[in-house]
Structure formats: structure tokens, C-alpha cells
Amino acid sequence: MKENVVIITGCSTGIGRNLAQTLFARGYRVVATARRLETIKDIPAALHLELDVTKQASVDAAISQTLTRLGRIDYLVNNAGHSVRAAIEDMDEKPAREMFDVNLWGLIRVTRAVLPHMRKRKAGRIIHVGSVVGKFTMPINGAYSASKHAVEAIANAMRVELKPFNIQVVLIEPGTINTQFMSSSIAKSQEQFDNSVSPYAKIYERFRTISAHPARKGALPKEVSQVIVRAMEAKHPKARYLAAVGPLYRAILIMNDRLRDSLMAKLFLK
């Protein structure tokens, strides 16, 4: 394990930061990356690299530096992501496009940069961090869920495409996690949430109330890190792993559309 190199995107906070620390402690040669290098300097790692997944030159430079200095990449964990929230009618195109550029196209850019090396070695494992909301969608969360639905599709395609090269693709589907992600998401969506004349103003207020409830605090990042480690170290990994998904979300996953819509209406249209 000590020779295994893992590159992780989005290490400045939350899951990425905890995962980097966890894997380093387990003997991996960790390449911790983030858009701003100063945010990850304190993370124990073999390498700290600036990596902006929305910029191809930044992606190529990070992968090149990793291969030059460490000689290989055994695992890629695509963790970088962010969210903006609004009703679909209220959603501004620019922030929505920027979100897709990180959550979907950023994931694709980094993966494509790593694949030639993995294909040459005929070995590697790619971990995509999606979300349980890639399987179902709540009001105000349509665009973010769409980006995670897309990650589900990408993972499904890549599992088969990369099988001839002995490269496994695994999807991690976290539930609500206690990180800065939710507060950051609401901050980025503040203009829509504060629009009192929006036809969806009551839904925004309800969303804020639900999000602030103690029951919505979420799991600790380490609970997701533990699942990712299990997916990395499994001899025959599963296609997807739920991570820190609570009973309500697990129930929603098995509901039919009519029942799910009824539940969402009760939650958000009070």
C-alpha cells in the first residue's frame, strides 16, 4: 500500500480534507489538491498541488507534476464540487453552468487526464464522489441534482468502457454531510432565497427552515471517508456505495414517483 499514489480533488474542506488525512495515515502517497494552494498546506501529503478542475491547463499541470515526482497514479478520487440552489424558473444560467463545469466537466477533465497513464499500466481505480440526490430530486435542488444525475451516467458508462484496461470505476453516493457545503450553497444562492416577490418564496423559506433543523446536521466527513477507503481497498469493488445516508433518504430511494412527490409536497409546500 505504501507505493500506492492517490490524487484527490477538492481537499480544502470537508470530505476531501478528511480523506487526504485518513489515507496519508494509512500509508498512501497522497496528492492533495485544491483551487487555492494555501488552503491545503497543513494537510499531511506527499504532494500539495494547485488544481482548478475548470481549467484544462491546471488539470494537465497537476497530473504531469504527480507523474514526474511520484511516477504513477493508482487512484483518482474526483471529490471537487459545489452547489447553487433555486427553483428551476429562478435559476440563473451563469451560476448553473459554473456548477456543471465543476461537478461534471471538471470530473471529466481530471479523469481524461489520468486515463492515458492508467491505460498504459492496465491498472487503476477511479472513485467518483456523486450524491444520493443523483437518484432523487428535491424542490430547489433540481440543477444540483441534475449535475449528480449526470455523474451517475458517466460512472455507468465508464465502468464498461474501461473494463478492458483493468480500470475500475466506483461511485460514492453520500447523504447529508456536516461540512461547509450546505452553508456555502445557500450563500451562493442568497439572491434567489431573499427574493420575496418570487413565486417560490415560501418554498425557499421552507427549505431554509428544514436545512437549519438539528436533524439535518448530517454525518461527519469521516463517515464518507471510511466508505471511500473501503471502495479503494476492496478486491472486487461494488459499482456504487451509499455513504452516510439516513433512514429518510433510504426510504425515499425505494418510493414510487407518486409517493415521493406527495412526501416532497408535504415537506416543502406547508
As for how many domains the chain has, the answer is: 1
CATH number at residue 25: 3.40.50.720
Q: What is the pLDDT of residue 215?
A: 55
Determine the structural domain holding residue 238 and report its residue range: 5-268
CA atoms 115, 38, 21, 5: torsion sign: positive
Quick one: CA torsion of 90, 93, 94, 98, rounded to 10 degrees?
Answer: 100
Q: What is the pLDDT of residue 195?
A: 82
Q: Do 239 and 157 touch, CB atoms closer than 8 A?
A: no
Rounded to the nearest integer, the mean pLDDT of the chain is: 93
Q: Has residue 173 got a pLDDT over 80?
A: yes
> Which of 104, 183, 112, 108 is closest to 147 using CA atoms?
104
Euclidean distance between CA atoms 141 and 136, whole angstroms: 10
Structure confidence by residue, pLDDT tens digits, 10-68: 999 999 999 999 999 999 999 999 999 999 999 999 999 999 999 999 999 999 999 99
Structure confidence by residue, pLDDT tens digits, 80-105: 999 999 999 999 999 999 999 999 99
Q: Has residue 120 got a pLDDT over 70?
A: yes
Q: Which residues are catalytic, by number?
A: 144
- Going by pLDDT thresholds of 50, 70 and 90, the confidence category of residue 180 is low
The alpha carbons of the chain give a radius of gyration, in whole angstroms, of 19
- Going by pLDDT thresholds of 50, 70 and 90, the confidence category of residue 198 is very high
Q: Has residue 188 got a pLDDT over 70?
A: no
Coarse DSSP helix, strand, coil percentages of the chain, rounded to the nearest 5 percent? 55, 15, 30
